[in-house]
A and B are shown apart, each in its own frame.
Chain A
Amino acid sequence: MTAVSPSVAGLRAEFGDAVGRHVVSCGDTIVYLANARAHDVLAWLRDSPDQRFDYLTDVTAVDYRDPERALEVVYQLRSLPRRADLRVKIALDKRAPLEVRSVRDLWRGADWLEREVYDMFGVTFAGHPDLRRILMWETYSEGYPLRKDFPLRGHFSRAEQTRQALAANPEAHYSMEELSIAEAYDELPPDMRDRLARGERGFLR
């Protein structure tokens, strides 16, 4: 059960220092990658004929209870032809900006998964063409819910949350992008157009 995935040796031979430590937990191999070269390594893992990790099972992140400990972005890779799995992690120091390169160009399945990690943890995926919040609404301003410094009930009081919900602008159902597609933007009433142009989509202040 504690066998290390043979991919680790291949990674070390190919990338040397860009591959950090590896751990085996519950029979699964976990490899840490240096953030700077992570995209190259992941591309190699996908394309190398010995590896062929063609399927991205999941992208997520882990924020540990220890505030000093790095936040980890986790990629669950799978090779369908080889029936093999590998878990790849990038550790991000929380004092620096949380940014990794998007792997949406390698696996399209990463599109929404990366948006969710951005939404829930505030990790920015450089190169993602449409990095918007996905589960929370676009003007959600309380922070990133799955961070450990985010309280279970949210940052705002219940009264403030209720006030914001009641003040939500029901006209702003469509995003700016969507309105510009339909050429409907020019036909909006002037006051609404002003609000939208100022980015006030969620609620009137």
Chain B
Amino acid sequence: MSLRTVNMALATPGLDAQGRPARVPLAAGPQGAEYDEDFGAERMLVNIGPQHPATHGVLRLVLELEGETVKRCIPHLGYLHSGFEKLGEYRHYNQIIPLTDRTDYLSPMANNVGLALAAEKLMGIDVPERCRVLRVIACEMSRIISHLVWLGTTGIDLGAYTPFLWSFQQRERIYNLQEMWTGARLTTSLTRVGGMMADVPEGFEAGLRDFVRTFPKTLDEIDTIFTRNAIWIGRTQGVGILTADEAINYSLSGPMLRASGVDYDVRKDRPYLDYETYDFDVPIGEYGDIYDRYRVRLEEMAQSNRILEQALDRLSGLQGAPINVDDPRVILPPKSRAMSDMEAMIYHFKQVMEGVKPPAGEAYMGIENPKGELGYYFVSDGTAKPVRWRIRPPSFINLSSLPKMCEGALLSDVIAINASVDIVMGEVDR
């Protein structure tokens, strides 16, 4: 290890006037400058992945090293390419929803919501209020579980095992609620165009309230073990820096963009699902390094918890309200009616056989997913299957900044930087 790491480990961070941990000054001089000339002249190629636990999936990185310093990073993708966008062109809009489960498989419910919103924008449908509240709950539950996975796995990458157990314990509680609601832990397929697959079951609200009440304790524990931890600070502060201009230029979104100090959150700036009526804050970083990404994600979980609390209050005021639009062309009639009423049966038949037909046109709908802005872009020619279904994949675009961040970093920092991007290869490769 270079001298820099030793300096950091010995430094004990204090608190500044605002109560935040003081930044540990980095060792002076360019990184890797202490290498011997003869040794530094030799370049080495190191291959990481595609099967490597620290690449968070089947990502393959080819690193050009000079000593321990990364001169160039060449990512290779596509090992998990499934052709979802092509498959979507052969499916009705509702049949695409199961495909979205499998893209970003750490937040399937939020993907389902995004797809339903995009299709509804294309068709000009406004869903009822209870549906909107349920979708907000789905999105924020997804944000919490996705960030918990990020936190746990990044902790493991940097040598901290305990927070992984804490975060996965909490994640399990949300997964149990998710299973209760949708019957699935991973492939939720929660929404339908114009509504939801199901309303929340008996006991769900009490379970989620219990989670919302007790979850901040875990966040506090994680905060205690990480935020002022000299090893964590040493591995994350000043590593993988992207300035605000760079973050915008690289089209980053989500926590990656906000950690660089850009105040942009789709929920605030292009509100959907009545997000403008919820009271929550958007955390913004200052330095754009891994530490700021950690702080932003940690705070986002606390804010999601706040939103969940407010959404639960609204939900209890909307008991028995409809969750689907009242339009038999879009929403399947109840099975009992389809079996006994001729008209309902015809609607059922037409929807299942022909699908829902949007008008010709196109729509782009971006939502704030845990990873960043997830956009669905539909082009319709008036038939029941889209001409083009494009996923704007936040992980893919965020990952494209990896070579930039890795240049000049140490080999061990590449693992930390890659972890901080929060990729999920199912979405990168689609």
Contact B397 A109 (CB under 8 A): yes
Contact A146 B86 (CB under 8 A): yes
B400 interfacial by beta-carbon distance below 8 Å: yes
Contact A182 B44 (CB under 8 A): yes
A44 interfacial by beta-carbon distance below 8 Å: no
Complex CA distance for A152 and B85, rounded to whole angstroms:
11
- With known contacts A64-B381, A112-B397, A80–B43 Cβ distance under 8 A: no
Contact B388 A181 (CB under 8 A): no
A83 interfacial by beta-carbon distance below 8 Å: yes
Complex CA distance for A183 and B396, rounded to whole angstroms:
30
Residues of B with C-beta under 8 A to A112: 396-397, 399-400
Residues of A with C-beta under 8 A to B121: 26-27
CB distance from A58 to the nearest CB of B (A): 5
Contact partner of A76 (CB less than 8 A), chosen from B85, B122, B377, is: B377
Contact B81 A55 (CB under 8 A): no
Chain B 64-86 interface 0/1 with A at a Cβ cutoff of 8 Å (1 = within): 10000000101001100101011
Contact B86 A152 (CB under 8 A): yes
- With known contacts A55-B248, A145-B83, A26–B362 Cβ distance under 8 A: yes
Contact A26 B77 (CB under 8 A): no
CB distance from A26 to the nearest CB of B (A): 4
Residues of B with C-beta under 8 A to A107: 249, 251
B366 interfacial by beta-carbon distance below 8 Å: yes
Residues of A with C-beta under 8 A to B246: 108
CB distance from B318 to the nearest CB of A (A): 26
CB distance from B252 to the nearest CB of A (A): 8
Contact partner of A28 (CB less than 8 A), chosen from B86, B248, B252, B364, is: B364
Contact A60 B377 (CB under 8 A): yes
A156 interfacial by beta-carbon distance below 8 Å: no
Contact B43 A181 (CB under 8 A): yes
Complex CA distance for A179 and B85, rounded to whole angstroms:
33
Residues of A with C-beta under 8 A to B86: 145-146, 150, 152
Contact B388 A62 (CB under 8 A): yes
Residues of B with C-beta under 8 A to A26: 121-122, 124, 361-363
Chain B residue with Cβ nearest A24: B361
- Number of B interface residues in the complex (CB < 8 A): 50
A30 interfacial by beta-carbon distance below 8 Å: yes
Complex CA distance for A151 and B47, rounded to whole angstroms:
35
Residues of B with C-beta under 8 A to A135: 77-78, 81, 429-430
B262 interfacial by beta-carbon distance below 8 Å: yes
Contact A184 B124 (CB under 8 A): no
Chain A 81-93 interface 0/1 with B at a Cβ cutoff of 8 Å (1 = within): 0010001000000
Residues of A with C-beta under 8 A to B122: 26
Residues of A with C-beta under 8 A to B87: 152
Complex CA distance for A30 and B379, rounded to whole angstroms:
12
A178 interfacial by beta-carbon distance below 8 Å: yes
Chain B 248-276 interface 0/1 with A at a Cβ cutoff of 8 Å (1 = within): 11111000000000101000011000000
Chain A residue with Cβ nearest B383: A65
CB distance from A175 to the nearest CB of B (A): 8
Chain B residue with Cβ nearest A138: B76
CB distance from B380 to the nearest CB of A (A): 9
A-facing residues in B354-379 (Cβ within 8 Å) = 361-364, 366, 373, 375, 377, 379
B321 interfacial by beta-carbon distance below 8 Å: no
Complex CA distance for A17 and B230, rounded to whole angstroms:
61
Complex CA distance for A142 and B351, rounded to whole angstroms:
35
Residues of B with C-beta under 8 A to A173: 47
A-facing residues in B387-410 (Cβ within 8 Å) = 387-388, 390, 392, 396-397, 399-400, 404
Contact B249 A109 (CB under 8 A): yes
B62 interfacial by beta-carbon distance below 8 Å: yes
Having A65-B381, A134-B78, A135-B78, one finds 12 other A-B pairs with CB under 8 Å, namely: A25-B361, A25-B363, A27-B121, A58-B375, A62-B387, A63-B388, A76-B377, A109-B397, A112-B397, A135-B77, A174-B45, A181-B43
Nearest 9 A/B pairs, CB to CB: A109-B251, A182-B45, A26-B363, A25-B361, A112-B400, A135-B78, A58-B392, A62-B388, A135-B81
A and B contact pairs by CB, cutoff 8 A, 10 listed: A26-B121, A54-B248, A57-B366, A57-B375, A58-B375, A108-B250, A135-B81, A145-B86, A146-B85, A146-B86
What residues of chain B have their CB less than 8 Å away from a CB belonging to chain A?
A: 43-45, 47, 62, 64, 72, 74, 77-78, 81, 83, 85-87, 90, 121-122, 124, 246, 248-252, 262, 264, 269-270, 361-364, 366, 373, 375, 377, 379, 381, 387-388, 390, 392, 396-397, 399-400, 404, 429-430
